[in-house]
Amino acid sequence: MHNQHFVSAQQITKEMFDRYYRLALKLKKISQTEQGRRYLLTTLEDKRALLYFVQPSSRTVLSFQNACYLLGAKVSEIRDVSLTSEAKGESNHDTLRTFAAYVDLLIVRHKSETLVHEASRLYDTLKYPVNVVNAGSGTDEHPTQAMLDLMTMEEHFAPSGGVSGKTICLVGDLKRGRTVRSLSLALRVFPGAKIIFVSPEAFSPRDDILTELKKANLPFSIERNLQVAIPQADVIYMTRIQDEYDGKAGESSQVDMRAYSLKAEDLKNMRPNAVIMHPLPRREELPTTIDHDPRALYWKQKDNGLWMRGAILLSLWGRENLNFE
Ligand code: NCD
């Protein structure tokens, strides 16, 4: 038997996004009343999840944890490898096997790009089902972030056809930023979507993503000048430099990222209905002075994380039919 895993944005289809989007909105609505919250607590009450987050996280870990609480799933947590048997030399394989004895779902954030795939393959060989969700795999992918980013865009652009047909400008460290990599892959399923990649040469998007976009006939361009891209974009998606992945050469310190920062005066060059997004955490690329602007959607993204991750959990277990009006 093959289990349900969500490990890559390659898995996202338009039908899947539409379904999860509707479910996330429904979850949000049901949770507004006490009766609704009590009902939601029963939906996953027989399930147990492990949050295996051994890279830093605030929003992702808390939104998954609280989505579990909202739906009644029980949660265990490992946040530090140095406090596990891995510190005594246990292999990834044995660690993953051990997890499977206790929980129905592994939600994993790890510096490894492959561990999450190893886990899903291993769990497919077990007699009892264990699901796997990728909450960030090194510099490779962050597919649940892509889903909540798309949800935020779809809501904002609901009056003008949603994400389809929009031009998304991705800015910053596009080489090592896993959020933009997963988002680029996910955008393939939206008819008429276009991408403008804006980064310094050293942090250009990797060929694997560009190859996938070409295969899917998604039009994209690579632009070095943020000022040229701003007036063409419906979404300006900013990201921080991923300097935790620097090698000995200290790649980040060799690049001047100031040209890839948004300034308050740039807002006047945006399209009237365009928005600014960011997966957070931010640094100097996104000034706090624009937070009050109605086009700044990044705190909305953070809020949607809870609802979209709740929808993902329900879908993994085929519990999408919420019988609550
Ligand atoms: C991102 C990540 O971990 O990749 N954070 C998040 O989950 N919202 C972005 C980042 O760290 O830059």
> Which among 139, 142, 144, 309 is the best mutation to test ligand 1's pocket, defined by most ligand atoms within 8 Å of the CB?
142
CA of 60, closest atom in ligand 1? 7
pLDDT digits (tens, 9 = 90+) for 262-294: 999 999 999 999 999 999 999 999 999 999 999
Are the C-beta atoms of residues 275 and 286 closer than 8 Å to each other? no
Global pTM exceeds 0.95: yes
Q: Is the minimum distance from the CB of 142 to ligand 1 under 6 angstroms?
A: yes
Q: Is the CB of 180 under 6 A from ligand 1?
A: no
The whole-number pLDDT of residue 245 equals: 96
Q: What does the mean pLDDT of the chain come to?
A: 96
CA end-to-end span of the chain: 34
105-132 mean pLDDT:
96
d(CA 122, CA 214): 32
